[in-house]
Every structure is written in C-alpha cells, then in structure tokens.
Amino acid sequence: MSSSPSPLHGQLHAVHVLGETARSHVASVAAGLVARGVQVTVCGPGEAEERYGFGAAGARFAPVEIARRWRPRADAAVVTALRAACAGADVVHAHGLRSGLLATMALSGRRTPLVVTWHGAVPAEGARGRALRMLERRVTRVAAVVLGASSDLVDRARAAGARDARLGPVGVPAPPRTAPSAETVAEAERRREKTRNEFAVGQRPLLLAAGRLEPSKGYHLLLDAAHGWAGLDPAPLLLIAGEGAQRAELQERIDAERLPVRLLGRRDDVPELLAAADVVVLPSRWEARPLIAHEALHAGVPLVATAVGGTAELVGEAAVLVPYGNPKTLADAVTRLLADPARRQTLAAAGPVQAATWPTEDDTVAQVLAIYDELTSG
C-alpha cells in the first residue's frame, strides 16, 4: 500500500527498485533523500517494507513481488507493476542486475533516466556466465549512469558498454563511539565474557565469520582451512553467523570431519560476537565492500580476508590479505596472527583509523542526489 502522497509540483520524484541485497542501503538512501525534500517511491516485496520500514521514513512503498529466479509470466506482471509505479518519475534507480533489467523493460518507450547500482557481481562461468554478461551489456547500455560499489565493478560496467560508470561506495552507519572509562571498559569485558561463555569458549581463541551461506562466500574453503588450525593447543573455535542454502552440506562436513566449527544461523547480535572474537575471517571468492569487514575494522577486531573485489581498497593496510582459493595460506595467516599478540594489537588500532576514511551515509546520499540533479536539470 502507498504510504505517502503524490509528489508536489516541482518536487523531484525518484523511484527505487529493490534487488535481493543492499536493502538496508536503499533504506538509508531513501530516508536521506526524503530528508532533503525528494519524493521517494520504493518498489519491492512486502517483506522488505516490514523489515526496513521505508514508509515510516517518509517514502511511498509500492509492493512488487520480484521473484528470485527468471520467470517470464511473473516477470511480465512485475514489469507492468513497475511501469505503473514509475509513471511521472523524474529518475528511476535500480539496485542490482535483475532489478536493472526489469526497470529497463518498464521504462521502454519513456525518456525517464535510469540509474543502476551494482552492489555485487555473480561469479559464473560457461553458459550462465555468458548469459549474465549479455544481460549486463543490455542494462548498462540503457542506464544513464551505472554506479559500482567498488572499482572493479566500475571497470566491469565500462567494459560492458556503460555510457557513464562511476564509483559509488556504499556508506554504512558507524557504531557510536564513546571515550573509554573504567565503567565502559568493565562493561565491554562483561559483554565479551558473557558471549564467550555462551559458546563455552574458555581460553580457546575465538574466530568469527559472517555472511550468507552460499558458494561465493567461500565457506568450504574456510572449512578446509580449519584443518590447519584444528591441531593447535588449545584449538580455536570458529563461529559462522549466517543462513543460506549451503547450511546442510556445511554442517555435514563439520560433523563428518569433526571440525571445531559451529554454524549459528542468522544472528542479530553481531556486535556482541565481534566483541568476543580474537580474529575475524572473510574467505569470500568475491566481495565489493563486505559488511563484516566494515564491522570488524570499526570494532578494532583483527581481520584476515581474501584479496578479492573491493576488499583491498576497503581495508587498506588495516587487515591481513591472502589470495583466494588456497586454504593452507588462509590457515597459516590465521595461525600466525593468533601467535602474534603485538600484530593483533597493531591491526586493532589501525581498523578504526581506516574506517574513518570511508564515506558516510550522508556522503552517499549527497552523491546520489547530485546525480539525480545532473540527470534532471535539463
């Protein structure tokens, strides 16, 4: 259901089309645009409105059930719904390849400028990879501007034929920071011990990974690496927070190989998990600006990550980077870090310093609004 009135005369009207990811980012941008006097409509599944509250932030929400898979009959209905929602829009902003394609179809025959943000890339080879590249070319050549969350995505959009591709890093909210005092230090230690006691960690090192349980996140590689530190005394415990299609097969491996790993499922207490962790591990095949890396550096928790996508430009010198695909190299990096308290302390101090260089949510909204003004000023 709609949640706010029609645009006022002369008021910029922007329509956002949700993808499967980055919905919290869209919620942040939508709220920031509304605060700056922009009329915002967000199109997406009803559960997204329930979780992110676009209407409560002042945006109009248009329920559009975008299926996860390509289904011609369902997609035709989505295109019809999007075409109605985009009527009278000054600019349409789609998030992700699939949403971008549906938006191009909905805008066919109209002169409404389209902005597409690439938040990620789908690692694919063979026939599926060729099909995805074809879709990328179609979307990027229609879009007035393509924003890439990382530099490699900008390069990829340009290679696909984008007329105008720009870096559009996603600002995420920084956790509140207070000057340390005896009371806050004691409270932080209490929370740390409470979380460690929940998992009966004792004196064992605690490792943390977080993210969707899907092939691109590299969790099978991480389980391979776990063999490399399982023989330490005491053996580190690895917690993996997240849910996804690979959960059953990962759990089967953990049980069969007796690995010191626990799958936690979806968790809403990642800050508490970070506070309890000695090292965060990010084994992904590809990332743009991984949220867990943001959170680890903000929290001052040492990070070991694969040097893929936009991760290196995000973390700078404030993390240990290893090549993707070599579990021994990953295990060795984690083991060395656990054995080197001074190095961990250096990384813990470097994390917040690096985080201070990242764009804020306000920076992100300002960039998006400047692009909208540029596209509509004529």
pLDDT for 10: 56
67 within some domain:
yes
Token pair listed for 25: 């980012």
Range of the domain at 317: 182-355
**What pLDDT sits at residue 65?**
84
Are 163 and 114 in contact by the 8 Å Cβ rule? The answer is: no
In a domain, 5, yes or no: no
pLDDT in tens, 112-130: 999 999 987 766 667 777 8
Closest by CA to 208, choosing from 229, 236, 230, is: 236
Q: Count of H helices and E strands in the chain?
A: 15, 13
State percent of the chain over pLDDT 70: 91
**19-23, 158-162, 310-314, 329-333: segment of lowest average pLDDT:** 19-23
pLDDT at 2 over 80: no
CA dist., res. 16 & res. 86, Å (int): 9
pLDDT of the residue at 82:
96
Region of 74 please: left (phi>0), alpha (psi -120 to 50) or beta: alpha
Question: Are residues 97 and 197 located together in one domain of the fold?
Answer: no
12 versus 73: the higher-pLDDT residue is 12
Same structural domain, 280 and 228 = yes
Beta-bridge partner residues of 279: 207
Cβ-Cβ contacts under 8 Å for 118 (sequence gap 6 or more): 96, 97, 146, 147, 148, 149, 153, 156, 157, 288
Q: Name the nearest CA neighbour of 211 among 178, 259, 250.
A: 250
Q: Domain holding 120: CATH number? A: 3.40.50.2000
Q: How confident is the model at residue 68 (pLDDT cuts 50, 70, 90)?
A: low
Mean pLDDT, range 58-87, rounded to an integer? 85
Res 71: pLDDT: 66
Say yes or no: 308 and 364 in one domain. no
pLDDT bracket for residue 75 (50, 70, 90): confident
Segment 150-155 mean pLDDT: 93
Which amino acid is residue 267, in one-letter code?
R
| Confidence at 157, pLDDT banded by 50, 70, 90 | very high
Residue 230 lies in a domain: yes
Percent of the chain with pLDDT over 90: 78
Say whether both 332 and 371 belong to one domain: no
Is the bond preceding 271 in cis, omega lying within 30 degrees of 0? no
Residue 248 lies in a domain: yes
Q: H or E segment at 158?
A: helix 151-159
Domain count, the chain: 2
- Give the type of residue at 48: A
